[in-house]
Amino acid sequence: MYLNINTDLTVDQKAYINSTKQFADEHIINNSIEWDKKQIFPKEVLKKSAGLGLAGIYVPEKDGGTGLTRLDASLIFEELAYACPSTSAFLSIHNMTAWMLSQFGSDELKNKYMKKITSMESISSYCLTEPGSGSDANAMITKGLPDSNNSSLNINGSKSFISGAGESDLYFVMMKTEINNRDESSCVIIEKSSEGISFGKNEEKMGWKNQPTRVVAFDQCIAPFENIVGKPGDGFKIAMQGLDGGRINIASCSLGAARFCIDKSIAYINERKQFGKFLKEFQNIQFKIADMITDYNAARLMVHEAAKALDNKQSDTTLRSAMAKKFATDVCYNICNEALQIHGGYGYLSEYGIEKMVRDCRVHQILEGTNEIMKVIISRNIIGN
């Protein structure tokens, strides 16, 4: 590790990072390329991570979580992403669902699912995006209609690009509900074993190959009314608050990939000779490394500031999260791509791990709201519309 990134951290934060690094070194980093090639979903490793408290990182201890801050979580996801961005990103999705249930769920619903989620006995996926709506959460058409006595919901519709679909045990589904004659959105937990739920083919993707991505379809799928997270109509609020944290998490995953690529590049230029000189002696290479390190540090500062804003419940959390997500995912992708260029043909080979980082990081500029949507959010927060 060439970058000294832990100088401003607390003793506890350094301990979280060290234990996470130890776990990633033992279980993830040496397996990540094989998982990617063979499209292996590392279920058992994910379940083992729960033993470190990584399945409920910012869930309060009273609900069975680790009780850490969003800043702590950012540090953890970065360290996991250093080993494998795709694995870290999926774990961040699971953590998002755990937080949703902890933050908004009734005591009855928590008693039903919380322990299973924080122990990863039940792996969870988050279902917001639909084939025709993309980043427009208000445009979703998946609908859950209550029966006459509000004991169950009859759900029809579909969700697309769902990470973990077909493998996860629980699905936190955003949908339209018409309860008390109101048109509203709600978040509903649906079990994999529910009648009327089905899954499409595993999508062939550029990156994130070690986690399945499928359509989740609902055809007269019945879910208990009490599986609504929070109150009926809270869905949009839950989704938007979840996205603030999700954007910080995915930006943190980009940081881990970028730091991996910087470390690999520094090691490479110290050992590789060209035209009788080490690569590190060429000014062009020195400038590339300088830009990579500067951009990484700037992105890390933005992500950490956004995480602190979320921890402190600041009014500008959405703005800071959008800026951090846009900037970090853009520059970190560029860092990974530059590292590939520095490695030349070797960077293009899978065994070096660089090309996987490029592929895995590319989608970070799209999910949790595209970076074009981030620009809309940023401009509207500053200048209005």
Residue 67: what pLDDT?
96
Residue 137: what pLDDT?
66
The 3-state DSSP class for residue 183 equals strand
Confidence of residue 201 (pLDDT cuts 50, 70, 90): very high
> Could you confirm whether 368 is annotated as catalytic?
yes
pLDDT tens per residue, range 77-105: 999 999 999 999 999 999 999 999 999 99
- Is pLDDT at 189 greater than 90 in this prediction? yes
Contact (Cβ atoms closer than 8 angstroms) between residue 170 and residue 124? yes
- Is pLDDT at 2 greater than 60 in this prediction? no
Which residues does residue 216 pair with via DSSP β-bridges, in sequence order?
159, 199
The 3-state DSSP class for residue 53 equals coil
Contact (Cβ atoms closer than 8 angstroms) between residue 94 and residue 55? yes
pLDDT tens per residue, range 323-374: 999 999 999 999 999 999 999 999 999 999 999 999 999 999 999 999 999 9
Sign of CA dihedral 156, 242, 323, 295: negative
Choose, from 167, 281, 368, 372, the residue flagged as catalytic. Answer: 368
Greatest mean pLDDT range, 12-16, 139-143, 258-262: 258-262
- What CA–CA distances, in Å, run from 206 to 36, 71, 86, 363, 381? 10, 29, 12, 8, 33
pLDDT tens per residue, range 316-325: 999 999 999 9
Kindly provide the residue ranges of all beta strands, DSSP E only, lying in the chain, ordered along the sequence. Answer: 124-127, 143-146, 152-163, 170-179, 182-191, 197-199, 213-224, 228-229, 273-274, 277-278
Residue 109: what pLDDT?
97
Please report how the helices 317-343 and 354-362 are oriented relative to each other, as an axis angle in degrees rounded to 10.
150
Confidence of residue 135 (pLDDT cuts 50, 70, 90): low
Confidence of residue 243 (pLDDT cuts 50, 70, 90): very high
pTM, entire model: 0.94
> Average pLDDT of 258-269?
96
Contact (Cβ atoms closer than 8 angstroms) between residue 69 and residue 307? yes
- Is pLDDT at 32 greater than 80 in this prediction? yes
Residue 228: what pLDDT?
96
Percentage of the chain surpassing pLDDT 70? 96
Residue 5: what pLDDT?
64
